[in-house]
Every structure is written in C-alpha cells, then in structure tokens.
Structure 1
Amino acid sequence: MQRMEAAWESRWEHVTQEVLHLGSRIQGLEDTKDQNEDRVLALEQQVSAHSKYFTLLRRDLDDVDNRGRRNNLRIRGFPEPQGPSEDIPALLRTLFNPLLQRPLEAPLLFDRAHRALRAKGAPSSAPRDIICRLHYYVDKERILMASRKTDLQDRMGNSLQVFPDLSWSTLQARRALRPLTQILQERQIRYRWGYPFSLTTVIDGESFFVSSPEDIPPLTSALGVTPLSIPDWFAIPSMIQNTGQVRPQRSRWQTPVKRRKPPQRPSDSPLSQLPTTPSSCG
C-alpha cells in the first residue's frame, strides 16, 4: 500500500504540474487574444478614418478636375472627314455663331479644340466627340443654354448634341444615380446637378440635396419608393468594384545582355597576322 501510494502521489504530482503548465499557456493565449482584439479594433478604426479621408480626397480631386473643365464643351455627332485633317475651330464657329445670333464668320476665341483622344474607329462606327475649350466662360454658358433650346444639326442634317465636359468620376457618379434620376424624370420632377458633385431637387416645397449615399433615403422616403441600393461612388472605385479578377502583371523589361567577345590571344590578333617589315621612320 505504501508503494502504491508513493506511485500515485508521484503520478498525481506529474499530472498537477502538467495541468498548471497548460493553465499558464491558456492564460497566455487569452492575454494574446485580448491584445489581438484591441489591435484589430484599433486597425478597424484607423481603416475607417482612412476611408473617410480617401473619400474626401477623391471628392476634392474630382472638384478640382471639374473646375479645370469649366470652359470646356463636348460636341457629339459631327462626322469625321475622310481626309487626314480638319479645321475644327472653323467648323465650330459655323455651329456656335448662329446659336449666339452672330454672323457665321464672327470671331470666336478657342484655347484649343480637338477630337477625343482615342484612335479613329471604322467608317461605320460612331464619330469621335469634339472637345473644345472656349477662352471666355460667358461664351461657353451662352452656347450651352442656347443648345438646350435648339435642335442642332450640321450642314449634312446630322443631329448634334452639346454637353459640358465632365470628369470621368463625375460621369460614373451620375451613372450610379441613374435609378434615382429615372424616377424623377418619370414623375416629371425637375432636378439639377451642382459642383462639387451633387443633385438638388424640390418635392412638395422641401429641398433635397444628394451628395453621398447617406442622403438618398430621405429622398426616396419623400418619393414613396422602396430604398435604392446605390454604392458609394467615391469610396470604392468603379474599376475594381464587383470584380474578383486580378490584372495580370507585365514582366519587367530588362536591357538585353550584350555578348562579350572572348579575349583574344596575342597570336590571334589581326595585327599579329601582318608581315613584319622594318619601320620606315626609324
């Protein structure tokens, strides 16, 4: 019995030490887990703050881009000539001067005027837009307002359209709000776009201002429609949204290694093959 008790005591002492060791390890894991949770919470707060700053930065950048395009107009529908070049300023004068009730040859100052910067398509494809920058902002506004009241056509009878030249981000944001603008158009409710990007409308004497997805629920509630699921057009770039594919990376260009000629032995040198003659200038 004494030997059995001694054996059991030694075993229990060993088990007790293992349990204490496991308890200390579990306590360490729990402490590490609490520290990781605190770190993850801090990272989530930091990422949320960075997301807000990123959104504000994109808004400001888009605003700067649009303000740099304030004097620009985009004309759609002008057929492209078959020749290598065309006089776009003269072509635009014949279009804009009648809108401004001026003679056809009246001077109209352009800072620049060109086709959209992309490759020319096939003859059957749609012509590239013409983008022009007028020197005076007043002329641009008068042309834009007059074009909204007139059905524009060129000399060949092709229908033309004149738009303000907007940044790509603003166009994507307007495209994201298309479900909302379609409801407003169906109900014949007037709305207007503002700078920086915003949508303003009046319903039953109450003004609504939409500049972010958080401003949409009050407007849909006033319209009496179900809430619209519209993503944040500034927080998530449309080019990477809803795409799980990774763009393939190009292999880095490297300078081709020049072949090194093997060193020539003195006997293989071309000079060594020449006949040895006494020097004439000795």
Structure 2
Amino acid sequence: MQRMETAWESRWEHMSQDVLHLGSRVQGLEDSKDQTENRVLALELQVSAHSKYFTLLRRDLDDVDNRGRRNNLRIRGLPEPQGPLEDIPTLLSSLFNPLLQRPLDAPLLFDRAHRALRAKGALSSAPRDIICRLHYYVDKERILMASRKSNLQDRFGNPLQVFPDLSWSTLQARKALRPLTQILQDRQIRYRWGYPFSLTTVIDGESFFVSSPEDISPLTSALGVAPLTVPDWFAIPSVTQNTGQVRPQRSRWQTPVKRKKPPQRSSDSPLNQLPNTPSSCG
C-alpha cells in the first residue's frame, strides 16, 4: 500500500503540473483571442470608414465625369455608310438645324463628332451611336429639348433618338433604379434625373429625393408597393463567394518546335558533282 501511495503521489504530481501548464496555455490563448477580437473590431471600423470615403470619392469622380460631358449628345439610330469616310458634322447639322427651325446651312459648331469607340459590327447589327460635343451648351440643350417634342428622323425615314451623354457609373445606377422608374411610368408620375446622380419626384404634394439606396424605402411606402432591393451603385462591390467551381486554366505556352534542317549533301553526292566549266571570272 505504501509503494502504491508513493507511485500515485508521483503521478498526481505530474498530472497537476500538466494541468497547470495547460491552464497557463489556455489563459494565453484567451488573452490572444481578446486581442484578436479588438484588432478585428478596429479593422472593421477602419474598413467601414474607408468604404464611406470610397463611396464619396466615386460620387465626386462620377460628378466630374458627367460635368465633362455636359456639352455632349448621343444620337442613336443613324445607319453607318458603306464607305470608309463619313462627314458626321455635316450630317448632324442637316438633322439639327431643321429641328431648331433654322436654315439648313446655318452654322452649328462642333468640337468633336465621331462614332462610338468600338469595332464596326456586321451589316445586320445595330449601327454604332454617334457622340458629339457642341461648342455651346445652349445649343446642346435646345437640341435635346426639341428632340423630346418631335419625332426626329433621318432622310430615309429611320427614327432617331437623342440622349445626353452620361458616364458609365451613372448609366449603371439608372439601370439599378429601373424597377422603381417603371412603377412611376406605369402610374404616369413624372420624375427628373439630377446631378450628381439623383432622382426627384412628387407624390401627393410631397417631394422625394433618391440619391442612395437608403432613400428608396420612403418612396416605395408612398407608392404603396413592396420594398425594392436595389444594390448600392457607389459602394465597394461585394466579394463573390467561392462556389467550388474550378476556373479553366490556360495551357502553358511552349516554344514552337524548330524545323529540322535538311541533311547536308556530301561532296560525293551526284548533285554536287558538276561538270568542269570555265570560270566566269576569268
């Protein structure tokens, strides 16, 4: 019994030391966990602040881009000629002067006028848009307002559409609000786009101003429709989750196989045995 007690005491002593060691390690892990949580919270606050600044920066950049396009117009529907050259300013003058009730040869100053900067499609595809910059902002506004009140057509009777030239971000934001604008159009409620990007409308004498996804809920409540889920068009795009799909890998580039040189003919070859002719060099 005495030997057994001595053995158990030694074992309990080793176990108690192991428990103390494990306790100290667990305490260290808990302290490290608390520090990690504090760092993660600080990083989340920092990322949230950066996201806010990034959103404001994108808004300002989009506003600058749109202000640089204030004198631009986009004309859709003009067929492309078969020839390589096209006098676009003269063509636009012949369209816009009758629209403004001016003489056909009245001067209309363009800074630039060209087709959309993409490859020319097939003959059956839609023609590329024409983008022009008028020198005077007043002319651009008059043309835009007159095109909304009349059916603009080319000399072949094709219907034409005239739009203000907007930045890609603004077009994507308007596309995101298409479900909301469709409801307004179905109910014949007038609305207006503003700069920087915004949507303004009046319902039962109350004005609504939409410049971010958070402003949509009051407008849908006033319309009596279900809330719309619209992505934040100026926020940082969300990181797509891993779907488990393996992306196709490109085949590794290899140097082309060198062509094998034809075997050299020996001096004993019959083709190399030429008749003895006098040298032309004398």
- Is TM (by shorter chain) over 0.5? yes
How much does 1:247 deviate? 8.4
Tell me how far 1:49 sits from its aligned partner.
Answer: 0.9
Cα separation, 2, equivalents of 1:141 and 1:24 = 76
| Alpha-carbon spacing, 1:160–1:243, altered in 2? closer, same or farther (3 Å) | farther
CA–CA distance in 2 between the matches of 1:98 and 1:237? 46
Which SS does the other structure have where 1:7 is aligned?
helix
**1:154 matched residue in structure 2:** 154
TM-score for the superposition, normalised by structure 1: 0.85
| Unpaired stretches in structure 2, ≥5 consecutive residues | 254-282
Q: 2: distance between equivalents of 1:169 and 1:214?
A: 18
Write the deviation string for residues 52-109 of structure 1: whole angstroms up to 9, x where unpaired: 1111111111100000000000000101001111110000001111111110010000
For 1:107-146, what aligned pairs fall within 5 Å after superposition? 107-146=107-146
Q: What's the secondary structure of 1:233's corresponding residue?
A: coil
Q: Give the letter aligned to residue 4 of structure 1.
A: M
- How big is each residue's C-alpha offset from its partner over 1:95-154, in whole Å with a ceiling of 9 and x where there is no partner? 111111110010000000000001111111111000000000000000000000000001
**Runs of 4+ off more than 4 Å:** 240-251
**Structure 1 equivalent of residue 170 of structure 2:** 170
RMSD: 2.3
Offset from partner CA, 1:250-281 (integer Å, 9 cap, x none): 99x9xxxxxxxxxxxxxxxxxxxxxxxxxxxx
What residue is the counterpart of 2:20 in the other structure? 20
Q: Is the 8 A contact 2:54 2:236 kept in 1?
A: no
> Could you tell me which residue of structure 1 aligns to residue 79 of structure 2?
79
SS state of the match for residue 3, structure 2?
helix
Pairing 1:35-50 to 2, within 5 Å after superposition: 35-50=35-50
Number of equivalenced pairs:
252
Q: Deviations over 1:204-248 (max 9, x none)?
A: 11111000000000110111111001110111459x879978988
Q: Rate the CA distance shift 1:118–1:211 in 2: closer, same or farther, 3 A.
A: same
**What is aligned with 2:52?**
52
Which structure 1 residue ranges, 5 or more long, are not aligned? 254-282
Q: In the alignment, what sits opposite 2:268?
A: none
Q: Given the two structures, how large is their TM-score scaled by the length of structure 2?
A: 0.85
Q: Is the 8 A contact 2:51 2:236 kept in 1?
A: no
| Separation in structure 2 between the aligned mates of residue 172 and residue 104 of structure 1, nearest angstrom | 37
SS of alignment partner, residue 148 of structure 1: helix
Task: Provide the rounded CA distance (Å) in 1 between the counterparts of 2:144 and 2:246.
Answer: 42
Contact 2:74 2:164 in 1 (8 A): yes
